[in-house]
């Protein structure tokens, strides 16, 4: 037996020491001081790994059947998609940091504010790089909904990709006057028990932030740096509201759907009468694909809902930074953005400033079909809230679990 | 002790074999455990700030691990118990039918469906928007999907238990059939009858004791497998409480970076429990067990 | 009366077994199936055509999974066979047996989460080699334990006999051990193939979503609530084992003792 333990310890140490020397060489290209032309010359034949949320068929369709073949054809870049959102990306960065991996698994990531915050905290993002992308000239960085992500200045460390506002939706055939504030919601769930829920994910927490702003008295009540005292005060009210009413929620509030896709299914099958999401509700694709009936309409919340951008970032240890820049530059090109905006495609708002586009694209944009079912961002502009500081989201996640789910 | 150790060193192939066994079978487990242990005490990790017991205290205080363990054990226990009972009943009732090739194939078939597909199928079948709900609606048993009972992602874990049952009943049936044949239970049964036993006595004193005694280690093993299962509760479970594996992964992937070590605390506690169970199951000298 | 009752139960059970297979196949051929319709509005080959032709890479995943599982099955069966010989002839075999069980009964997903650091360090993260290695780590103990009952006094005596008669090591393996163990080797091969083929949690962690095996795809489709594609990929997941079963069930699943 002692022999066994000796062997074991020896091998364990051997493995550790062997693995510590495995640092690979860093890329030699000095990206900071190279001009764009030279930089992109080097990208052909490179493989870029893009980690993104793969929860929507239309997004996957846009990426797999348009972006991947186009960057391959035009730039010779092999774009590899892998599935993973916020926590998975952060988890990967933590792991690689810990293991001292210089050449990471993933080059670029699709993120939003709270992941941006965590990656900055871990020093996991590479940049600033956005100002080097030729197509960034079409982006209006004066727009605070673009240049400020969850109350943090973006500083060219991540490139905006889409901009969208949160909205609620209902089937107008069954619900003529959907609730537009907490008071009405309380009445609604009592009259229609089991037809409302909060998804235990990014989407659900975003709704809770809107509720919290309403409890704070105005769309601007959560603006500014994270304020623990304010959070404690308002979240206490919020948990009180939810715990008071959750017996009228879906499954009597004893459990909550894990993902917004699940919530959409529940809405489709008629279990839920009200649901919500980014992309002004994101209902267009679902009506078109037949998941929702065409009587479904999106609507605004009185005190406003959150509007934000989502971004593309490059990781600090990305092996193919130049090629990733090339891909991101393509993703924010007028062409790719216009394609993405079409209601028949991903139906995501352009992050580009229309007035800055070349005339040809402006004309094309004017011809883009408008949505039939979902509201446009313009329809919601009176009811807008800026994304609060990321700590609100992180704390809400934690406390929603302890104060509501586990109660 | 000296004499016993000799074969290990006597023969070079034997020593290489044991070495390979340790590298491939023991070392990874030991490495994973030590890593999780260090992490749980804040000794490794990007945001680690030295030795601390705060994560252990916090996990023990909130009781999330014990709740999850109790919940997992209850689900696994019920599923294994029901599977054994149903499989015994089916095997003994349909013993002659099971000699038919086609029927036997039907017992094998479910083994081709992995947990992931089982869970997917159960959602399709039993969710409020699922196939049974549609049939109930069409036959006017319910007026809207909400009236259909809660069978998946539910409080009582009915969906999970059902998935487990469909996965392991066929396995236990094949097991019991095998033991029945190998242990010559048929002969013993006839013998008991000829000695004047009633059929109830034959069943309770001869058939069942042999079947269960020969298979108890394997039954316990399946309990442990179900305890740690991941895909099925991930798809069919509810948000709280959760089964152990789901809890571990959720804790490791959470937004609050400072709390990630708590996930490793749960992983370490779970590993210790499984290891203790293994010691009790496999260390005692056992005679003719099916494992 | 009693007999009648049994005559109804058996066909019912057979239907119950066949139902999931037919239902999943049916679902994969369906489209536009809204609540509360009992039957879908579309029925045909559309899903199969799109998924096999477009960039979703399901076919690629299928081939990749096949490759991974074959590699895992071959390596773990052979290494399990050879190494189990020394382990189960060893005087401390009870302790060694216990050690073999530890990684076998630990939840693979938890095992993978705790091992991922080492995989990262060794450059085995997010690639096929890493996934094969990780799956090997859980199927190897299975193979090892699987062969434990094979190594008994009788086999030892045969081996000794060959040696006494002047046979060398190769003779021992090719003339005695392999012929005797042929059936078991095949069963173990199929079993470890299935362990790998069905594996999800560990693969998702070590593959970081980059190694998209069939199970990873199934889960992705479930997540995006794309049930028709989900059912289709479930079919791809289930039917190869069914075919193996049909060919010869006694080799596919462990015939105990």
pLDDT band for position B287 (cuts 50, 70, 90): low
CB distance A87–B253 less than 8 Å? yes
Instruction: Tell the residue number behind the tokens 């070079």, with chain if given.
Output: B12
Taking the CA of residue B83 and the nearest CA in chain A, the distance in Å comes to: 27
The answer on C223 and C125 residing in a single domain is: yes
The pLDDT value given to residue C57: 77
Token representation of residue A115: 């992941």
**Contact residues on chain A for B155, CB-CB shorter than 8 A:** 251, 254-255
CB distance B282–C222 less than 8 Å? no
- Alpha carbon distance C231, B119 (integer Å): 12
**Buried (b) or exposed (e) across B156-172, using 16+ Cβ within 10 A?**
ebbbbbbbbbbbbbbbb
Lowest mean pLDDT among A8-22, A124-138, A192-206, B231-245: A8-22
**Contact residues on chain B for A94, CB-CB shorter than 8 A:** 45-46, 257, 260
Main-chain dihedrals φ then ψ at residue A380, nearest 5 degrees: -100, 0
Give Dmax (Cα) for chain B. Answer: 78
- Range B273-280 average pLDDT: 91
The answer on C65 and C35 residing in a single domain is: no
The pLDDT value given to residue A86: 83
- Among candidates B25, B27, B221, A9, which has minimal Cα distance to C97? B25
The pLDDT value given to residue A25: 39
- Range C59-63 average pLDDT: 89
- Alpha carbon distance B34, C143 (integer Å): 25
Q: Assess B19–C contact: CB distance below 8 Å, yes or no.
A: no
pLDDT band for position A157 (cuts 50, 70, 90): very high
Which is more confidently placed, C255 or B38? B38
Could you read off the pLDDT of C186-197 as tens digits, one per residue?
889 988 999 999
Q: Tell me if A85 sits within 8 A of A122, measured CB to CB.
A: no
* pLDDT over 80 at A295, yes or no: yes
In a domain, C245, yes or no: yes
CB distance C245–B109 less than 8 Å? yes
Q: CA of A369: how far to CAs of A61, A164, A339, A343, A379, in Å?
A: 19, 17, 11, 7, 16
Q: Where are the alpha helices (DSSP H) in A46-128?
A: 57-62, 68-75, 86-99, 113-121
* pLDDT over 80 at A201, yes or no: yes
Neighbours of chain B (3+ CB pairs under 8 A): A, C
- Range A77-87 average pLDDT: 88
- Across the interface, of C92, C208, C224, the residue whose CB is closest to A92 is C208
Main-chain dihedrals φ then ψ at residue A210, nearest 5 degrees: -65, -40
CB distance A55–C224 less than 8 Å? yes
| Partner C, chain B 59-78, Cβ-Cβ below 8 Å | none
Q: Tell me if B8 sits within 8 A of B233, measured CB to CB.
A: no
Taking the CA of residue A303 and the nearest CA in chain B, the distance in Å comes to: 27
The pLDDT value given to residue C193: 93
* pLDDT over 70 at A20, yes or no: no
Reply yes or no on domain B41-282 having CATH 1.10.287.130.
no
The answer on C83 and C37 residing in a single domain is: no
- Range A103-112 average pLDDT: 92
Instruction: Tell the residue number behind the tokens 């609620």, with chain if given.
Output: A168
Domain with CATH 3.40.190.10 in chain A: 43-163+308-367, 167-307+380-405
Range of the domain at C22: 1-44
- Range B43-71 average pLDDT: 88
- Range A201-229 average pLDDT: 92
Q: Where are the alpha helices (DSSP H) in B46-157?
A: 54-62, 64-93, 101-108, 115-126, 131-138
Lowest mean pLDDT among A22-36, A130-144, A159-173: A22-36
- Alpha carbon distance A31, A272 (integer Å): 51
Q: How many A-C residue pairs are in contact by the CB < 8 A criterion? A: 83
Taking the CA of residue B64 and the nearest CA in chain A, the distance in Å comes to: 9
The answer on C157 and C71 residing in a single domain is: yes
Which is more confidently placed, C6 or A243? A243
- Alpha carbon distance A327, A126 (integer Å): 15
Query: Which residue does chain B place closest to C141, by CA atoms?
Result: B25
Q: Is the dihedral of CA A112, A116, A118, A124 positive or negative?
A: positive
Taking the CA of residue C223 and the nearest CA in chain A, the distance in Å comes to: 6
The pLDDT value given to residue B281: 87
**Contact residues on chain B for A4, CB-CB shorter than 8 A:** 22
Taking the CA of residue B200 and the nearest CA in chain A, the distance in Å comes to: 45
pTM exceeds 0.90: no
In a domain, C95, yes or no: yes
pLDDT band for position C88 (cuts 50, 70, 90): confident
**Contact residues on chain A for B283, CB-CB shorter than 8 A:** none
Q: Tell me if B127 sits within 8 A of C34, measured CB to CB.
A: no
Chain A: residues touching C (Cβ < 8 Å): 1, 4, 15, 19-20, 22, 49, 51, 54-57, 60, 64-65, 68-69, 80, 82-84, 88, 92, 95-96, 98-99, 101, 105-106, 259, 261-262, 264-265, 268-270, 290-291, 293
Q: Assess C11–B contact: CB distance below 8 Å, yes or no.
A: no
CB distance B27–A122 less than 8 Å? no
Taking the CA of residue C83 and the nearest CA in chain A, the distance in Å comes to: 16
CATH of the domain at C133: 1.10.3720.10
- Among candidates A391, A405, A34, which has minimal Cα distance to A225? A391
- Among candidates A15, A17, A42, A22, which has minimal Cα distance to A102? A22
- Alpha carbon distance C216, C198 (integer Å): 10
The pLDDT value given to residue C56: 65
pLDDT band for position B289 (cuts 50, 70, 90): low
The pLDDT value given to residue A260: 85
CATH number of A167-307+380-405: 3.40.190.10
CB distance C54–A60 less than 8 Å? no
The pLDDT value given to residue A30: 67
**Contact residues on chain B for C137, CB-CB shorter than 8 A:** 24, 28
Token representation of residue B3: 């004499």
Q: CA of A169: how far to CAs of A258, A287, C35, in Å?
A: 19, 12, 18
CB distance C208–A84 less than 8 Å? yes
Provide the domain count of chain C.
2
The pLDDT value given to residue C164: 85
Query: Which residue does chain A place closest to C95, by CA atoms?
Result: A1
Cα A245 from chain centroid (whole Å): 29
Lowest mean pLDDT among A307-321, C33-47, C98-112: C33-47
- Alpha carbon distance B68, B66 (integer Å): 5
Q: Assess C154–B contact: CB distance below 8 Å, yes or no.
A: no
- Alpha carbon distance C186, C144 (integer Å): 14
**What is chain B's mean pLDDT, rounded?**
88
The pLDDT value given to residue C2: 55
Q: What is the 3-state secondary structure (H, E, C) of A23-49?
A: CCCCCCCCHHHCCHHHHHHCCCCCEEE
| Partner B, chain C 198-217, Cβ-Cβ below 8 Å | 198, 200-201, 215
**Contact residues on chain C for A15, CB-CB shorter than 8 A:** 118
In a domain, C51, yes or no: no
Cα Rg for chain C, rounded, in angstroms? 23
Q: CB-based contacts of B48: which residues, under 8 Å, 6+ apart? A: B39, B42, B261
* pLDDT over 90 at B76, yes or no: yes
Interface pTM (ipTM) of the complex? 0.89
Taking the CA of residue B176 and the nearest CA in chain C, the distance in Å comes to: 10
Token representation of residue A224: 């500014």
- Alpha carbon distance B268, B43 (integer Å): 14
**CATH superfamily of domain region A43-163+308-367:** Periplasmic binding protein-like II (3.40.190.10)
Cα Rg for chain A, rounded, in angstroms? 23
Q: Tell me if B6 sits within 8 A of C92, measured CB to CB.
A: no
CB distance C117–A99 less than 8 Å? yes
pLDDT band for position A24 (cuts 50, 70, 90): very low
The pLDDT value given to residue A1: 41
- Range A204-225 average pLDDT: 92
CB distance B5–A87 less than 8 Å? no
- Alpha carbon distance A315, A118 (integer Å): 12
- Residue A19 has a CB neighbour count (10 Å cut-off) of 17
Q: Which residues pair with A313 in a beta bridge?
A: A109, A158
**Contact residues on chain A for C118, CB-CB shorter than 8 A:** 15, 19
Query: Which residue does chain C place closest to A24, by CA atoms?
Result: C123
Which of B25, B33, B46, B63 is the best substitution to test chain A (most A C-beta atoms within 10 A)?
Answer: B46
**Contact residues on chain A for C225, CB-CB shorter than 8 A:** 261-262, 264-265, 291
The pLDDT value given to residue A333: 94
The pLDDT value given to residue B291: 59
Q: CB-based contacts of B235: which residues, under 8 Å, 6+ apart? A: B116, B119, B120, B123, C222
Could you read off the pLDDT of C102-146 as tens digits, one per residue?
998 899 999 999 999 999 989 898 899 999 999 999 999 999 999
- Alpha carbon distance B5, B18 (integer Å): 12
**Contact residues on chain B for C242, CB-CB shorter than 8 A:** 109, 112
The pLDDT value given to residue B272: 95
**Contact residues on chain B for C90, CB-CB shorter than 8 A:** 7-8, 14, 18
Q: CA of B104: how far to CAs of B91, B101, B177, C188, in Å?
A: 11, 5, 10, 21
Kindly list the domain boundaries of chain B, sorted by start residue.
41-282
Taking the CA of residue C181 and the nearest CA in chain A, the distance in Å comes to: 29
Q: Which helix (DSSP H) or strand (DSSP E) does residue A81 occupy?
A: strand A78-83
**Contact residues on chain B for A270, CB-CB shorter than 8 A:** 129, 144-146
The pLDDT value given to residue A128: 92
Cα A349 from chain centroid (whole Å): 14
* pLDDT over 90 at A202, yes or no: no
pLDDT band for position B268 (cuts 50, 70, 90): very high
The answer on C95 and C169 residing in a single domain is: yes
Note the residue count of chain A: 407
**Contact residues on chain C for B4, CB-CB shorter than 8 A:** 91-92
Chain A: residues touching B (Cβ < 8 Å): 3-4, 7-8, 11-12, 15, 86-88, 90-91, 94, 97-98, 114, 118, 121-122, 194-195, 200, 251, 254-258, 265-266, 268-271, 393-394, 397-398, 401-402, 405-406
- Range B123-143 average pLDDT: 90
CB distance B277–C23 less than 8 Å? no
**What is chain A's mean pLDDT, rounded?**
86
* pLDDT over 70 at B5, yes or no: no
The long-range contacts involving C62-69, CB below 8 angstroms and separated by at least 24 positions, are C62/C214, C62/C236, C64/C128, C64/C211, C64/C212, C64/C213, C65/C197, C65/C213, C65/C214, C65/C215, C66/C240, C67/C128, C68/C128, C68/C131, C68/C132, C68/C135, C68/C196, C68/C211, C68/C213, C69/C193, C69/C194, C69/C196, C69/C197
The answer on C243 and C145 residing in a single domain is: yes
- Alpha carbon distance C236, B178 (integer Å): 31
- Across the interface, of B31, B46, B145, the residue whose CB is closest to A269 is B145
- Residue C15 has a CB neighbour count (10 Å cut-off) of 11
- Alpha carbon distance A63, C54 (integer Å): 12
The answer on C75 and C36 residing in a single domain is: no
The answer on C77 and C6 residing in a single domain is: no
- Alpha carbon distance C83, C94 (integer Å): 15
- Across the interface, of A4, A91, A266, the residue whose CB is closest to B253 is A91
- Alpha carbon distance A21, C122 (integer Å): 10
Could you read off the pLDDT of A325-336 as tens digits, one per residue?
999 999 999 999
Q: Tell me if A50 sits within 8 A of A80, measured CB to CB.
A: yes
CB distance C225–A68 less than 8 Å? no
* pLDDT over 60 at A17, yes or no: no
């Amino acid at each position: 037996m002692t022999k066994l333990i000796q062997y074991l310890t020896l091998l364990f140490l051997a493995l550790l020491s062997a693995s510590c020397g495995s640092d690979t060489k860093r890329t030699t290209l000095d990206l900071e001081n190279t001009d764009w032309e030279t930089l992109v010359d080097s990208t052909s034949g490179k493989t870029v790994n893009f980690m993104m949320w793969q929860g929507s068929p239309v997004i996957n369709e846009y990426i797999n059947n348009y972006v991947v073949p186009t960057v391959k054809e035009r730039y010779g870049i092999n774009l590899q998609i892998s599935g993973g959102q916020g926590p998975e990306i952060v988890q990967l960065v933590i792991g690689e940091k810990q293991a001292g991996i210089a050449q990471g698994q993933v080059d670029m990531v699709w993120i939003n504010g709270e992941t941006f915050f965590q990656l900055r905290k871990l020093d996991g993002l590479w940049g600033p790089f956005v100002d080097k992308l030729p197509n960034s000239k079409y982006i209006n960085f004066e727009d605070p909904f673009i240049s400020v992500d969850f109350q943090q200045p973006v500083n060219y460390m991540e490139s905006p990709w889409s901009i969208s506002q949160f909205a609620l939706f209902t089937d107008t055939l069954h619900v003529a006057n959907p609730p537009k504030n907490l008071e009405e919601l309380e009445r609604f769930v009592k009259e229609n028990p089991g037809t409302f829920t909060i998804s235990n994910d990014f989407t659900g927490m975003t709704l809770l932030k809107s509720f919290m702003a309403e409890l704070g008295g105005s769309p601007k009540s959560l603006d500014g740096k994270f304020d623990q005292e304010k959070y404690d005060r308002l979240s206490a009210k919020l948990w009180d509201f939810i715990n008071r009413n959750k017996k009228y929620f879906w499954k009597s509030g004893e459990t909550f759907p894990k993902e917004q896709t699940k919530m959409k299914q529940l809405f489709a099958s008629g279990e839920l009468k009200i649901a919500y999401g980014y992309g002004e509700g994101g209902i267009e694709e679902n009506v078109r694909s037949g998941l929702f009936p065409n009587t479904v309409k999106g609507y605004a919340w009185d005190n406003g809902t959150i509007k934000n951008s989502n971004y593309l970032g490059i990781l600090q240890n990305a092996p193919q930074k130049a090629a990733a820049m090339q891909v991101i530059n393509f993703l924010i090109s007028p062409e790719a953005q216009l394609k993405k905006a079409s209601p028949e495609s991903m139906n995501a708002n352009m992050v580009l400033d229309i007035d800055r586009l070349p005339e040809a694209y402006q004309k094309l944009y004017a011809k883009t079909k408008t949505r039939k079912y979902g509201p446009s961002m313009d329809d919601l502009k009176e009811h807008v809230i800026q994304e609060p500081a990321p700590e609100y989201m992180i704390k809400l996640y934690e406390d929603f679990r302890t104060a509501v789910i586990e109660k | 002790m000296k004499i016993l150790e000799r074969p290990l060193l006597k023969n070079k192939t034997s020593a290489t074999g044991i070495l390979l066994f340790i590298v491939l079978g023991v070392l990874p487990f030991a490495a994973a455990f030590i890593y999780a242990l260090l992490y749980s005490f804040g000794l490794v990790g990007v945001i680690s700030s030295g030795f601390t017991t705060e994560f252990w205290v916090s996990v023990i205080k909130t009781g999330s691990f014990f709740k999850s363990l109790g919940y997992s054990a209850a689900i696994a226990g019920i599923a294994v118990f029901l599977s054994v009972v149903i499989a015994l009943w089916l095997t003994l009732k349909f013993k002659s039918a099971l000699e038919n090739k086609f029927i036997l194939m039907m017992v094998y078939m479910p083994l081709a469906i992995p947990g992931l597909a089982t869970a997917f199928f159960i959602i399709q079948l039993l969710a409020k928007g699922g196939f049974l709900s549609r049939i109930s609606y069409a036959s006017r048993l319910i007026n809207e999907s909400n009236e259909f009972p809660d069978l998946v992602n539910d409080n009582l874990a009915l969906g999970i238990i059902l998935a487990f049952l469909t996965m392991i009943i066929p396995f236990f049936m094949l097991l019991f059939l095998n033991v029945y044949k190998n242990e010559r239970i048929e002969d013993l049964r006839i013998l008991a009858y000829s000695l004047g036993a009633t059929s109830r006595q034959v069943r309770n004193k001869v058939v069942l004791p042999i079947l269960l005694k020969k298979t108890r280690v394997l039954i316990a093993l399946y309990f442990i497998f179900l305890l740690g299962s991941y895909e099925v509760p991930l798809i069919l479970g509810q948000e709280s409480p959760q089964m152990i594996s789901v809890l571990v992964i959720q804790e490791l992937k959470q937004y609050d970076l400072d709390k990630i070590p708590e996930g490793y605390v749960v992983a370490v506690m779970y590993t210790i429990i499984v290891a203790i169970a293994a010691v009790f199951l496999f260390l005692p000298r056992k005679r003719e067990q099916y494992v | 009366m009693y007999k009648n009752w049994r005559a109804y139960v058996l066909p019912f059970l057979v239907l119950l077994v066949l139902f999931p297979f037919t239902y999943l196949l049916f679902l994969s051929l369906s489209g536009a199936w809204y609540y509360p319709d009992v039957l879908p509005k579309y029925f045909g080959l559309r899903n199969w055509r799109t998924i096999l032709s477009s960039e979703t890479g399901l076919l690629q995943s299928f081939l990749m999974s096949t490759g991974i599982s074959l590699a895992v099955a071959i390596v773990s069966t052979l290494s399990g066979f050879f190494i189990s010989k020394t382990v189960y002839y060893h005087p401390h075999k009870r302790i060694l047996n216990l050690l073999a069980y530890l990684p076998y009964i630990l939840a693979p997903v938890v095992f993978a989460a705790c091992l991922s650091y080492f995989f990262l360090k060794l450059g085995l993260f997010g690639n096929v080699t890493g996934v094969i290695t990780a799956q090997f780590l859980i199927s190897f103990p299975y193979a090892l334990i699987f062969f434990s009952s094979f190594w008994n006094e009788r086999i030892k005596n045969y081996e000794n006999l060959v040696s006494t008669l002047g046979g060398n090591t190769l003779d021992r393996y090719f003339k005695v051990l392999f012929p005797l163990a042929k059936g078991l080797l095949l069963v173990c091969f199929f079993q470890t193939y299935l362990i790998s083929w069905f594996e999800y949690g560990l693969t998702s962690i070590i593959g970081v979503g980059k190694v998209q095996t069939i199970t990873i795809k199934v889960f992705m489709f479930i997540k995006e609530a794309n049930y028709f594609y989900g059912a289709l990929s479930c079919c791809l997941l289930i039917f190869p084992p069914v075919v193996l079963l049909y060919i010869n069930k006694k080799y596919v699943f462990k015939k105990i003792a």
